[in-house]
Structure 1
Amino acid sequence: MTSNRAQTWTLAATGVASLGVSYYYWWKNRQERRVIIEVPKWLKQYETSLSAKTFQTDEDMMQVAVDISQRNVESGDGGPFGCAIFCRHKTTGLSKLYSVGANRVVPLSNSTLHGETVAIQFAQKKRQSFSLAATEDVEFVLCTSCEPCAMCLGATFWSGVSEMICSATKDDAEAIGFDEGPVFPESYQKLEQIGMKVKKMVLREQGKKVLDDYAKTGIIYNGAA
């Protein structure tokens, strides 16, 4: 009887171990086929805290993006860049926060995770669409704490947003060592040709201060570095 019981326990343990090994390889294989964008807990909490707020001016909206960039630096969760996308009602001109993004390049070892691209991906996931194109009633506005690099300018173009508002300038970012890539006046002309509005230097001094503060201790990362 004792022998049979021991044999049963042995078989059970072997089965559990086998399941554990199978699950490990299933999980490992799945992870190898996925890229996960993880944002700091404080970022989603900040977004939630503003969910009921109505925004009236460009400055009000930009303050969110700049605050995100500053908090990202203070918490050590990424580079000095933040982004917020708003859904604006065409009739009233009032906006609600739709998604947020913070730079996650260094923490997640991913050069594509700039504030703009993170915010765009979360916005499109929320909308369940690859496009943030305007409808009859609403349009989407992207606010970024700094003029976008070449990659993010392209991402903004493809996102379908109706307007882009920037705080700090390309020169401000490059002054502390960032390489913003091939961004030219013609790049912005292309945005205007498709009907996208562009507004620059909204709360510029605040956005620039975040960059300057980051430069004192932060990592200046570029593709060639």
Structure 2
Amino acid sequence: MSGVPKEFRVSLPAWLDDELADVPAVMPDRAARMRLVHRLADRNWREGNGGPFAALVAEQDSGRIVSVGVNVVLSSGVSSAHAEIVALGLAQTAADSWDLGDHGLPAHELTVNWRPCVQCYGATMWSGVRGLVVAGQGPELEEITTFDEGPLGADWAEQFEARGIRVVQDVLRDEALTVFRAYREAVDAGEVAVYNARKGSE
């Protein structure tokens, strides 16, 4: 069959170069890494790339930043292009391995500004990371932003821990909620669209 697509592309927005220009290559402090994630998440929706979400992958022990990602669903036209997917994929590209826990690699840790959705939950579990740091969990994200995060079980963190992935929660939680509320104000004002499959853009 001819004419069917043979690839799709997901790229980070150009404005990230400015945001990262003064960011040190090594950030040992988890709160500092989360603060960067919040900053990127806030700018991301304002730039129109996608939702108010960002993520980064760092070496767990040293804090060396391996990759960053933002949600680029709107700019890429790919519904799976969530921040975690982008950050993990770029980290795996940098490591030249689909397994970030591969023998000889340092332990990697994913930092994201809320508990992963059902898609990113699986992607994180299978990525090889040894740590997951989240700003928070709970219904606030969906209540504020109206995004459908999917049916994730109440034992989501325990399932990670059972597979050797340490979960650290509530790192700068209030800052995450501030970003989500600013996004919601823009939604209510008709300035940005919430994309939810089955419902279309709101």
TM-score above 0.5: yes
Per-residue deviation at 1:45? 4.3
1:34-61: per-residue Cα shift (whole Å, max 9, x none)?
10112111224434543x4322221011
Cα deviation for residue 67 of structure 1 reads 1.2
Q: Cα RMSD over matched residues?
A: 2.0
Task: Say yes or no: does 1:60 pair with 2:32.
Answer: yes
Residue deviations 1:146-175 (CA, integer Å, cap 9, x gap): 111000011000101010001143412111
**Rounded Cα–Cα distance in structure 1 between residues aligned with 2:70 and 2:194:** 16
Distance 1:81 1:126 in 2: 22
Correspondence for 2:47: 75
Instruction: Deviation per CA, 1:47-87: give whole Å up to 9, x if none.
Output: 4543x432222101111211110111222222100001101
Provide the secondary structure at the position in 1 that maps to 2:107. Answer: strand
Indicate how the Cα distance of structure 1 residues 215 and 127 shifts in structure 2: closer, same or farther if over 3 A, else same.
same
Q: How does 1:183-222 map to 2 (within 5 A)?
A: 183-217=152-186, 218-222=192-196
Name structure 2 gaps, 5 residues minimum.
Answer: 187-191
Matching residue within 24, 34, 51 for 2:7:
34
SS in 1 for 2:133: strand
Cα distance in 2, alignment partners of residues 193 and 138 from structure 1: 20
Describe the SS at the equivalent of 2:135.
strand
Answering whether residue 87 of structure 2 is matched by residue 119 of structure 1, we say yes
Q: Determine the C-alpha separation between the residues in 1 that align with 2:22 and 2:116.
A: 26
SS of the residue aligned with 2:171? Answer: coil
Percent identity among equivalent residues? 28
Query: Does the CA-based 8 Å contact 2:49-2:73 persist in structure 1?
Result: no
Q: Distance in 1 between matches of 2:40 and 2:103?
A: 28
Structure of higher CA gyration radius: 1
Give the distance between the partners of 1:108 and 1:136, measured in 2 at CA: 34
Query: Which one has the bigger helix percentage?
Result: 1
Structure 1 runs of 4+ aligned residues shifted over 3 Å read 44-49, 134-137
Distance 1:167 1:184 in 2: 18
Partner in structure 2 of residue 86 of structure 1: 58
Change (3 A) 1:185 1:72: same
Read off the aligned partner of 1:198 and give its amino acid letter: V
Q: Could you say if the C-alpha distance between residues 110 and 183 of structure 1 is closer, same or farther in structure 2, counting changes exceeding 3 Å?
A: same
CA distance in 2, matches of 1:33, 1:136: 33
Q: Corresponding residue for 1:172? A: 140
TM-score (normalizing by structure 1)? 0.78
CA drift at 1:88: 2.9
The one-letter code of the counterpart of 1:42 is W
Are 1:170 and 1:180, in contact at CA under 8 Å, matched by a contact in 2?
A: no
Who is 1:148 aligned against?
116
CA offset at residue 105 of structure 1? 1.1
> How many residue pairs end up in the alignment?
192
**Which residue does 2:198 correspond to in 1?**
224
- Normalising by structure 2, we get a TM-score of 0.87
Aligned position for 1:19? none
Shift of 1:136: 6.0
